[in-house]
Structure 1
Amino acid sequence: MKDISFPGASVGPNFDAVGGSVELHRIVGALLTYGVLIAVLMIVVCAVGWAIGSASGSWQTAARAKTGLFVSLFGAVLTGGALAWANWLLHLGATL
């Protein structure tokens, strides 16, 4: 049997099949943007708190600010990588 391939044809998910998918993409994009902005602002706030706590000799404040810094850094990485991960999964699903 001969393999038939069509140039320019691709198989992928049909996001237009769901009503309101354009609005959904905008909402998700806005939420990801706000999430990354808040996480980066928390990184700055926690870094300043860690510096002030260490300079003043308050080890409890420095320890809590350090924990907050690592949590917000993880949140920024997770939020920033969510879109790349979703695109990777969509690409992987299209190749199966």
Structure 2
Amino acid sequence: MIDIDPNGTGLPGIEQLRTIVGAIMTVGLILSVLALIVSAIIWGFGANSSNPHLASRGKVGVLVSCGAAIICGASVTLINFFWNVGQSV
């Protein structure tokens, strides 16, 4: 039987890679907040100017930015979940 687990110390630079990934997650969350603010403003302008196309684009932007924030925030949990599912196969 082969039993192999991830090795956090097997290669040089793993800790720096974790730092970089954490920084990228932070940037992704910040950009999601920015996109949410811009999309909400566009949605408001579209709704107040009777422009349904602009309002719908703003709504889509709000949904996409919220989805991006969910994926950024839950990425570690999702990967760990699927890792555990793969280990039980």
TM range (shorter): 0.7 to 0.9
Corresponding residue number in structure 2 for 1:37: 30
* Cα distance in 1 for residues equivalent to 2:63 and 2:51: 19
Are 2:20 and 1:27 aligned? Answer: yes
Are 2:38 and 1:62 aligned? Answer: no
The runs of at least 4 aligned residues of structure 1 exceeding 3 Å deviation read: 87-90
TM-score by length of 1: 0.76
TM-score by length of 2: 0.81
Identity of aligned residues (%): 31
Corresponding residue number in structure 2 for 1:84: 77
Higher CA-based Rg: 1
Corresponding residue number in structure 1 for 2:6: 13
Shifted more, 45-54 versus 21-30: the winner is 45-54
* Cα distance in 1 for residues equivalent to 2:38 and 2:60: 12
Report the number of matched residues.
Answer: 85
Unaligned runs of 5+ in 2: none
Unaligned runs of 5+ in 1: 1-10
